[in-house]
Amino acid sequence: MKLNERSVAHYALSDSPADHTGFLRTWGGPGTPPTPSGTGRRCWFVLKGNLLFSFESREGRAPLSLVVLEGCTVELAEAPAPEEFAFAICFDAPGVRPHLLAADGPAAQEAWVKALSRASFGYMRLVVRELESQLQDARQSLALHRHSSWKAISSRCKPQAPDCWSQVLENGHSLPRDCNPTGLVEEGGSRSAGRGLAEWELQGPASILLGRGQSPVSPETSCFSTLHNWYGQEIVELRQGWQQRARGESPDCAGLPLS
């Protein structure tokens, strides 16, 4: 099966963040027996996302091996020879041999087992969704909080229309549930499709959200003045309407009688 190995190796060597690094003893490799024996080979390991790379040394210019950490579990293991601190990456798939590795000490062993257990794409996706929903909660609370503060301020400053204000605010838009960062990312992504060049390093929600204009539903930005203006538009329109109706209803406001 072909793989874009040059790109994979480039990614391994790039300055993209590594989730864990360290020396580990490894068994297996070309020319080694199927059952691990001996003390293994000491290599420099780099974990990036769901990919575990090994190098000859810290300065290695090309990865020796790649393990794709999907559909696997990490378990403590017995190492051949009197080596401790061993663990194995075991795959569900039939015919895929476990990878046996050994750390230099108990702390390193624990750290590696933890890091490798959390390395799957699915785990990361769960975490991102969790934070997304926390952000939604925080935004909604903030919107409600702002509504109630404006209500308090308006009833103090504008005694003639407190009911108008409260009606508007109750009918006003709380940040809708469907207007979430994922939705915006999707929208933003489709916008960037129309741009001449996609940005290499800025692909991601941050740049998409900063690059786009106002959302049609509500501004998904934490800039208060923008939010204030946006909520204010509807209120200004309603006030104008109210003032017009007030003038129309009162005969005193019909203008000066013609003499």
Partner 1 sequence: MRYNEKELQALSRQPAELAAELGMRGPKKGSVVKRRLVKLVVNFLFYFRTDEAEPVGALLLERCRVAREEPSNFSISFIEDPERKYYFECCSEEQCEEWTEALRRASYEFMRRSLIFYRKEIQKMTGKVCAELGGAGVVLQAQLMTRLPRRTPWSSLAYPRRPGSS
Residues 106-145 that bind partner 1 (CB under 8 A): 114-115, 118, 120-122, 124-128, 130-135, 137-142, 144-145
> Which region, judged by CB under 8 A, interacts with partner 1, from 76-84, 155-163, 197-205, 249-257?
197-205
Between CA 73 and CA 198 the distance in angstroms is 37
Residues near partner 1 (CB under 8 A), total: 80
CB atoms within 10 A of CB 38: 13
Q: What is the DSSP letter of 56?
A: S
What are the Cα distances from residue 57, in Å, to 5, 25, 118? 20, 12, 25
Contact flags string 73-112 toward partner 1, x per CB under 8 A? ------------------xxx-xxx---------------
Give the contact letters, 208-247, x = binds to partner 1 (CB under 8 A), - = no.
-x------------x-------------------------
202 phi, psi to nearest 5 deg: -100, 10
Give residue for tokens 């072909």: 2
The least distance separating partner 1 from the CB of residue 150, rounded to whole angstroms, comes to: 16
Q: Which tokens in the block code for residue 100?
A: 């046996």
Residues in region 4-63 near partner 1 by CB under 8 A: 4-11, 14, 16-20, 29-30, 47-51, 62-63
Q: For 112-136, b where at least 16 C-beta lie within 10 A, e where not — what string?
A: bbebbbbbbeeeeeeeeeeeeeeeb
The distance of closest approach from Cβ of residue 107 to partner 1 in the complex, given in angstroms and rounded to an integer, is 14
CB-nearer residue toward partner 1: 10 or 158:
10
> What are the phi and psi torsion angles at 155 (to 5°)?
-70, -25
Interacting residue with partner 1 among 33, 156, 177, 200 (CB under 8 A): 200
| CB of residue 146 to partner 1, shortest distance in Å | 11
* CA gap 19, 41 in Å, rounded: 22
**Nearest approach, Cβ of 112 to partner 1 (angstroms)?**
12
By C-beta, is 114 or 158 nearer to partner 1?
A: 114
Residues of this chain, 163-192, that bind partner 1 according to CB under 8 A: 181, 185-186, 189-190
Quick one: angle between helices 162-171 and 121-157, nearest 10?
170
Cα separation, 143 vs 139, in Å, equals 6
| Residue closer to partner 1 (CB basis): 16 or 250 | 16
